[in-house]
Amino acid sequence: MAGIKLYIGIWLGLVIATVMEVVVRSLPGGASLIVLVIGLIAGAKAIVISLYYQHLRYEGIRLAALPLAAVIGVVFLGVSAAFTLAMGM
Amino acid sequence: MSQALPPSAVDWNNLFNLAAFIAVTATAIVVGAMIFFAIKYREKKGQPKFIPEIGLSKSRAREAVIFATLSIIILTSLTIASYRLTPNERFPPPVSQSLVINVTAHQWYFNFTYPNGVYYVGTCYVPADKSIIFNVTSDDVMHDFGLMDFRVKIDAIPGRYNVIGVTTPPLDGNSQLNYTIRCYEMCGAGHTFMNAPLIVLDPTAFNQWLINQIAVNSTSSAGG
Amino acid sequence: MKNEESRSEENKSSFMPLIIAGGVALFLLGLVIYIPLLVAGLIIVSVALLKVYKDGTEEKFAQTKEAEEEKFPLESVSKEKLGLWVFLASEILIFGSLIIAYIYVRVNSISWPIATQTHDVLLGMTNTIILLTSSLTMILALYSIRAGNVKGLKICLGSTVALGVAFLSIKLGIEWPALIRNGFTINSGLPASSYYVLTGLHAMHVAVGLVAIGYLMIRTFNGGFTSTKHVAVENIGLYWHFVDIVWMFLFPLFYLI
Amino acid sequence: MYHGYSLKEWLTTTNHKRIGILYIITAVFFLIIAGTLGMLMRVQLAAPDQTFLDPFQYDQVVTLHGLLMILWVLTPLGAGLANYVVPLQIGAKDLAFPRLNATSYWTYLFSGVLLVGTVFLPNGGPNTGWTLYAPLNTIQFSPQPGATLAILALGLLAVSITMASINFLTTIVKNRAKGMTWTRLPIFSWSILMTMALALFAFPPLAAGLALLTSDRVLGTVFFSSTQGGSILWDELFWFFGHPEVYIVVFPALGIIAEVFMTFAKRPLFQRKIFIIEFAAVTFLSMGVWMHHMFTTGVNYDVLQAFSVTTLAISVPFEGLVLGLVLTLYKGRIRLTAPMLFCIAAIFTVTLGGVTGVLQAFPTLDYAFRGTYWVVGHFHYVMAGTTLFGLIAGLYYWWPKITNRKYNETFAKITFAISFIGFNILYFPYFFLLDMPRRISTYSVLSGWASLNFDATVGAFVFGPAVILTILNLIISYRKNVPCESNPWEAKEMEWTGDYSGSLSTSQIPTTPNSPESSKLQEDDVK
């Protein structure tokens, strides 16, 4: 099990990432690039929380496969929905 | 007076007959084998005590693989055959050579608008031997614009234009051809009665009708 | 045979499943036809849950130890934890579908207001950090009880509840009234609809989490947890972190992008 | 009283067997209601231009029939048998969370009561068809409160089934007795594992869709009433649930057919390992085929073609399943008992229903099939045929286990013959009603559909009573109170013998048999 310092360090990292998201928003740059960066930061935060706070890192891949499968299901639904948006005949 | 099947319906029928033949054959083989086994191997009185055979030979596994391969081949070839057919419906000829009709579905009728602004409720008149593009949308709930005589169908969805193309057959001596457009999606209490005749006219007669309609529309809108 | 079975069952049998299900049904019926029925259903469910809680603390439903079992592939995971993870998987799919629905309607819309003009980014960020901190205190609660530190557990759970309440008060007490004053009401179009439904459902999850942590606190003060016996702390913690993770996506989706 | 237990014991039970029985009884109760609704539809359509039901009443009947049959009859009937049998098959004392199981059952019961209750509300119940397409499902087009209540009832059912899937997945993964390894897991338990895994993935998107719809109807949001993609959004969320649901319904039946074939052919399952792999492949692929319900919505055609390919791909492992079942009979020692006959009929219907489904997987062909009675025929062959026959076979098969009574075999065979003939008279004509739209309340004489519809109605009046007779047979045998032997079928599975070492489920008997203590379960676990 991880130590108290690690938990606090992770928390600090997450807070910094949150502030970074807000900063990135106001930076000049392409809208899609900003969306991509913010999306990546959000995803990274979610992964860190699930790995350390939900201690999936210590539970092993067999248990982690379950939420992972759910996420893959969601992504699949999202990707298919995105493609159907393309109106082209 | 016999009506000729539209060309797309003939193609569809051929593909369907082929696929249905394969399907029925497959069913017959599977069900036939099952019934044959059930009768041949049924328990008879006075047989010695039966010990189930546990191990299975490898050759049986091979059979399963052969069946799977066979069905993949059949399905792939049918897919290719169906793709060959698809463009007729999904990718109609260019707009310039076709008559484009905007179809708006309502609860519970169809409204047809022609390129020159003429609109007509409840009946669709089209010229013979011509490619027609229907630009289908809905004003309220989801409907379905179904032309079963041409074996095509497209949903009428609010906020969305769906395109379906058909080619009307030549008249071949008939004065007109009659088909039916039906709604094939549950759209409320009037769903049952939501249909519209599709009347194929001789091109000159169609043009005459169109000109008459301009007059009718202008008087009705002036009166309204 | 029957006697043996029923004797072992007498401990487990309960009217509560029937009453909870009935209460929920009454709640839904009330929502549609007659609001007092809704209140009645809510009361029935709450009372039944209290009863379940009481039974639970009396260890009435304690699982009898099973005989030896096959363990592959999840040797080290307890039944409760696996059940919770399966539940979380379904929650991931619910929120995932909702987020996809949100993205779908947003991309499909002709126009969409700029996030920073409707929402207060600073408040959103504060809320995000509050929720992150509550996650930290929740994991520290587990850390404390693993070390046998009951006092630390009390402090950590207490601060988690405080932070959760702070999150809800900022959201429901400051943000929503301000938005509604600006005409951003639930039926004023898709942007508002999706905002209220998604964050509202999330807030509901936070509230459920708070109730669960409140339950943990009561058990803690009754001396219910020791360094070896703290399954509930861990499992409710997993749920709480999940709620946190959902917010990690909702925050950028509504406040930043 | 009641099977040796008091009413209080029934209402408070957390025992998997009694909850299983409650599930079965409730599902049969809803089956009778939904079947009656089906008969009403057939009466209405028996002749052209009938006014027995007005269109609005007919729409409600259609909707309730569909919702009840799929979600409140077939799904829970499988879950009920699973409740009873799975813990016995895997050697668990009970499900992992007994109280959750009870909650799941009562939630199911009350959700069904709410749904049926909608018709008694002013302005009636839901009238949108079981697919609840947007925006017909919004308050603007179906303003009656009954429609809202039906949506909430559906949401409650989704909660119930999610609870059941949490419970079963945990049980099958964690509660297997020592020695019940994955390779020895009986095939019915495998099928329930797959069913519940699918349910876990399928129902949450439905719940999300229903949450949005409820907020539309109650709070006044505009997700589905807006013209900006609302219809397609509902299609996506609904069919992401809707197609796996078909497999959720049919998997338990396939598991039962496998068990019955093994027992009555005295043969191990043909290529058991491949069978399970194919099962898993179908489970996996079934998550990726839903858009074949949207071929005519006009969304991106390349995506639709991709989904056409996945739909065709799923037919390959599924065909493997059917062939595996048929080849199980090869060189067997077959006893044609009632469950066996029902299973043979189920294989017939799944083959015909399956190949007609494959035809619909081609977008070109589906352009004509969509929304017609061909589709109705196809899914009734799969649902009313395969699933209902399979589940009836399961009821017959496990009846001696559940009640300790043997049903009347001759009577059962007669009812089988009647129901099979009635079934085919009822649904086979649908394949020839290729241009008749679904869910129309009447049709004109000119349409030329009258004679086939009359045939179907005749079939309905044979099939419906035959199902009632089947239920009567079971009830009468229970009332007669003649105990039967504990394993009348000479079955080899765990739930009958309490010992997996002779099981036909496993293709290899363990070379070193486990000690009797670990492999033999305690008496009251099996009984």
Q: What is the ipTM of this complex?
A: 0.91
pLDDT of chain B, 224 residues: tens digit per residue: 457 788 878 888 888 999 999 999 989 999 999 999 999 888 887 776 655 555 544 456 677 788 788 888 888 888 887 776 665 555 667 778 889 999 999 988 999 999 888 889 989 999 998 889 999 999 889 999 999 888 888 999 988 888 888 888 888 888 888 999 999 999 888 899 998 999 999 999 999 998 888 888 777 655 44
Is residue B50 included in any domain, yes or no? no
pTM of the model: 0.92
Residue A5 sits in the same domain as residue A37: yes
Instruction: Examine the pLDDT at D369 and tell me if it is beyond 50.
Output: yes
A37 inside 8 A of chain C by CB? no
CB contact under 8 A, B151 and D368: yes
All residues of chain C having their beta carbon less than 8 Å from the beta carbon of residue D156 are 24-25, 28
Candidates A84, A85, A89: best to mutate against B (most CBs of B within 10 A) is: A89
Q: Are residues A66 and A47 in the same domain?
A: no
> Does residue B118 sit within a domain?
yes
Please name the member of C135, C242, C256 whose beta carbon is closest to the beta carbon of A21.
Answer: C256
DSSP for B126-190 reads EESS-EEEEEEEESSS-EEEEEGGGTEEEEE-BT--EEEEEEPPP-TT-SEEEEEEEE-S--SGG
| Rounded Cα–Cα distance for residues D341 and B42 (Å) | 12
Percent of chain C whose predicted confidence (pLDDT) is above 90: 44
Quote the pLDDT of residue D83. 93
Evaluate if residue A80 carries a pLDDT over 90. no
Q: CB distance from A86 to chain B under 8 Å?
A: no
- Same-domain check for residues B151 and B205: yes
Domain that holds residue B17: 7-43+55-89
Is residue B49 included in any domain, yes or no? no
Smallest CA–CA distance, residue D464 to chain C, in Å, is 31
Q: What is the pLDDT of residue D468?
A: 94
Lowest mean pLDDT among B180-194, D75-89, D263-277: D263-277
Mean pLDDT of A36-52: 93
Please indicate, yes or no, whether residues A39 and A75 belong to a single structural domain of this protein.
no
Kindly state the average pLDDT of the residues D507-515.
Answer: 34
Q: Which tens digits make up the pLDDT trace of D127-174?
A: 888 999 988 888 888 889 999 999 999 999 999 999 999 999 999 998
Task: Kindly determine whether residue C96 and residue A49, on different chains, have CB atoms separated by under 8 Å.
Answer: no
Do B132 and B22 share a structural domain? no
Starting from the edge strand earliest in sequence, which strands make up the sheet with B99-106, in order?
B119-121, B109-113, B99-106, B131-138, B162-167
Q: What is the mean pLDDT of chain C?
A: 86
C151-154 contact pairs (CB < 8 A, 24+):
C153/C220, C153/C225, C153/C233, C154/C217, C154/C220, C154/C221
pLDDT at C76: 79
CATH, domain range C79-256: 1.20.120.80
C-beta atoms of C32 and D237 within 8 A: no
- Please count the residue pairs, one from chain B and one from chain D, whose beta carbons lie less than 8 angstroms apart: 230
- The per-residue pLDDT for A2 is 65
Mark whether A11 and A42 lie in a shared domain: yes
The CA distances from residue D379 to B105, B178, D71, D167, D247, in Å, are 28, 32, 14, 29, 12
Check whether residue B99 and residue B190 sit in a common domain: yes
Which of A76, A84, A88 lies closest to D288 in CB terms? A76
Residues A42, A65 within the same domain: no
> Chain A partners of C256 at a C-beta cutoff of 8 Å?
21-22, 25, 38
Q: Is D439 on the interface with B (CB under 8 A)?
A: yes
Q: What is the pLDDT of residue D515?
A: 33
B114 is a domain residue? yes
pLDDT tens digits, one per residue of C19-37: 999 999 999 998 888 888 8
Range of the domain at A42: 1-54
Residue B91 touches chain A, beta carbons under 8 Å: yes
D330/B192 Cβ within 8 A = no
Is A73 close to D302, i.e. CB distance below 8 A?
no
Pick from D56, D322, D442: CB nearest B189: D56
Residues B67 and B172 grouped into a single domain: no
C105 neighbourhood in chain D, CB within 8 Å: 223, 226, 228-230, 233
B67 and B125 together in one domain? no
pLDDT for C1 beyond 80? no
Assess if residue B162 is contained within a domain.
Answer: yes
Judgement on whether residues B135 and B112 belong to the same structural domain of the protein: yes
Q: Does residue B48 lie within any of the structural domains?
A: no
Average pLDDT (D488-500) is 79
Domain check: are B172 and B207 in the same one? yes
Name chain B contacts of D344, Cβ cutoff 8 Å: 34-35, 38
D306 touches chain B (CB under 8 A): no
Look at chain A and report how many structural domains it folds into.
2
The parent domain of residue D136 ranges over 2-526
pLDDT on residue C127: 93
* pLDDT grade for D525, boundaries at 50, 70 and 90: very low
Number of domains in chain B: 2
CB-CB contact of D166 with D200 (8 Å): yes
Q: Is B2 a member of any domain?
A: no
Q: Quick one: pLDDT at residue D527?
A: 34
Pairing assessment for the beta strands B124-127 and B195-201 based on DSSP bridges: parallel
Q: Are residues A69 and A40 in the same domain?
A: no
Residues 17-36 in D contacting C (C-alpha not used; CB under 8 Å): none
Cβ of D300 and A77 within 8 Å?
Answer: no
AA identity, residue C134: S
Q: What pLDDT was estimated at residue D192?
A: 95
pLDDT at C104 over 60: yes
Q: Is the pLDDT of residue D446 over 90?
A: no
Inter-chain residue contact A70 with D300, CB threshold 8 Å: no
Q: Which is more confident, D488 or D44?
A: D44
Question: Number of structural domains, chain D?
Answer: 1
Q: Both tokens of residue B24?
A: 């029925």
Q: Are residues A46 and A19 in the same domain?
A: yes
Within 80-99 of B, beta carbons closer than 8 Å to D belong to 82-83, 85-86, 89-90
Rounded to the nearest 10 degrees, the angle between the axes of helix D55-67 and helix D98-117 is 170
pLDDT at B2 (0 to 100): 57
Task: Look at C256 and A46 and tell me if their CB atoms are within 8 Å.
Answer: no
Say what the pLDDT of residue B224 is: 42
Three-state secondary-structure class, residue B118: coil
A3 and A41 belong to one structural domain: yes
Q: What percent of chain C has pLDDT over 70?
A: 91
In the predicted structure, residue D30 carries a pLDDT above the cut 90: yes
- Output the pLDDT for position D504: 57
pLDDT computed for residue C208 by the predictor: 94
